[in-house]
Amino acid sequence: MSDLHPAFDWREVARLALASRLLDELEENELTPSGLVTYQFSARGHELGQLLISQLLTRPYDAASVYYRSRPFMLGSGFTLEEALTADMARRGSLSDGRDVGVVFNLPRRQRALVLPNAADVGSQYTPGAGWAQAIRYRQDVLGEDVQASIAVVFGGDGSVASNGFWSALTMAATLSLPLLLVIEDNDYAISVTGDHQTPGRNVAQNLAAFHNLQIWDGSGTNPAETAVLVETAVAFVRQNRRPGLLRLRVPRLSGHSSVDNQAYKSAAEREAEWARDPIPALQGVSGSRAAGRSGLGRFAAGGGNGRANRPSHRRSHAARRTIQRNPLRVIRTGLSTADWRIGKRGDCAAEGNGRVPTA
């Protein structure tokens, strides 16, 4: 791949996509079946666009409002692997100190976007994001401050566009001309309900084409070259023009909606087609590219690793499982340092029959 977009640090994108996938893998195969994580949400398939956007949110008032499938974006915004695991395992030291589901996020600013506290109700993330964008406009227009072209970004799924929060935020943003980017990660499912039931014609970007004062982009969320251009164009447009936009990224949801969903409602052919759009192999290609090689990512392409951490739980020894349960962070770090890309094999998820039944 020679067409890597220069606006992004691709080495970091590849590394954090792999980290996110290893986290999902570990939770699905080990921590949830053993009861150490009670409610797991996988971001498998959604990683690429989120990570790219996270890298562009570097202005002083840039902020994001996220949802439960936003962990790759969180990792790109400075959320650590330790925090991800302590949050998921309901331990002290996580941002909610163990009081919330691990993927209900917030994050004080760490060089990149500040992440507003989110909640678990679908659609509730939109109006806080619009409110932040309105506050930026107030500082800019009323207080006369230099806001350095800061913006707000809200992430949501295709099902969430049927919520009142989405339409309220859209109306605020377009009538008040707010620097707000709405990013819709369209995986064509809201739990088991297909997109045609959430959105007439299945495509909210198409339906909003006539919406006044809203710029729209629509395309792949899994093809590194295409997604990078979409993301860079959308963020730059909202920054420069100080008005709203909507970016629809098409992604596959490769795991069940949550750890108790075995996706029995998807046909084998459909799941096969979804796996064909997995962004992880594409990022492995990035890691082997000339540009990435220059930045030292060449070793990521080498594969390697003993693959032990990624074996389905029932094939591991009791001792190996104990080790993983005692120190899951080490398993992720080992996967990262050996650049073990042999992950994400279908059928590995506990709820999808890897041999172990979730205990919670």
Ligand X SMILES: Cc1ncc(C[n+]2csc(CCOP(=O)(O)OP(=O)(O)O)c2C)c(N)n1
Site of interaction with ligand X (CB under 6 A): 69, 120-122, 156-160, 185, 187, 189-191, 253, 257
Nearest CB to Mg ion, comparing residues 79 and 189: 189
Choose the contact partner of 122 out of Mg ion, ligand X, none; CB within 5 to 8 A by kind. ligand X
Q: Tokens 């707010």 correspond to what residue?
A: 178
Nearest CB to ligand X, comparing residues 27 and 185: 185
Nearest CB to ligand X, comparing residues 252 and 312: 252
Nearest CB to ligand X, comparing residues 44 and 137: 44
Q: How far is the CB of 158 from Mg ion (least distance, A)?
A: 4
Joined together, the tokens standing for residue 296 give 């030292």
Q: How far is the CB of 73 from ligand X (least distance, A)?
A: 12
Nearest CB to Mg ion, comparing residues 112 and 253: 253
Nearest CB to ligand X, comparing residues 102 and 328: 102
Q: How far is the CB of 177 from Mg ion (least distance, A)?
A: 29
Q: Which amino acid is at 29?
A: N
Compute the Cα dihedral for 14, 20, 22, 24 and give only its sign. Answer: negative
Question: What angle do helix axes 224-241 and 279-287 make, rounded to 10 degrees?
Answer: 90
Q: How far is the CB of 186 from ligand X (least distance, A)?
A: 8
Choose the contact partner of 105 out of Mg ion, ligand X, none; CB within 5 to 8 A by kind. none
For 337, counting Cβ atoms within 10 Å of its Cβ (0-12 exposed, 13-18 middle, 19+ buried), the class is exposed
Q: How far is the CB of 122 from ligand X (least distance, A)?
A: 4
d(CA 357, CA 339): 29
Which residue, 118, 114, 91, 115, is CA-closest to 103?
A: 118
- Residues of the shown chain interacting with Mg ion in the complex, contacts defined by CB under 5 A: 157-159, 187, 189
Q: How far is the CB of 282 from Mg ion (least distance, A)?
A: 21
Q: How far is the CB of 294 from ligand X (least distance, A)?
A: 35
Which residues on adjacent β-strands are paired with residue 245?
181, 215
Choose the contact partner of 191 out of Mg ion, ligand X, none; CB within 5 to 8 A by kind. ligand X
d(CA 315, CA 323): 14
- 244 in Cβ contact with 213 (< 8 Å): yes
Nearest CB to ligand X, comparing residues 158 and 232: 158
Choose the contact partner of 160 out of ligand X, Mg ion, none; CB within 5 to 8 A by kind. ligand X
Q: Which amino acid is at 137?
A: R
Joined together, the tokens standing for residue 176 give 């008040």
Nearest CB to ligand X, comparing residues 31 and 104: 104
Question: What angle do helix axes 10-26 and 328-337 make, rounded to 10 degrees?
Answer: 140
Q: How far is the CB of 334 from Mg ion (least distance, A)?
A: 32
Which residue, 175, 99, 82, is CA-closest to 130?
A: 175
Nearest CB to ligand X, comparing residues 74 and 286: 74
Q: Which amino acid is at 82?
A: E
Q: How far is the CB of 253 from Mg ion (least distance, A)?
A: 6
Helix runs in 61-149, H state only: 71-76, 81-88, 126-141
Q: Tokens 């990521």 correspond to what residue?
A: 300
Which residue, 96, 99, 62, 61, is CA-closest to 79?
A: 96
DSSP string, 216-267: EEEEESS-HHHHHHHHHHHHHHHHHH-S-EEEEEE----S-SSTT---TTS-
Residues contacting 195, CB < 8 A, separation 6+: 158, 186, 188, 189, 202, 203
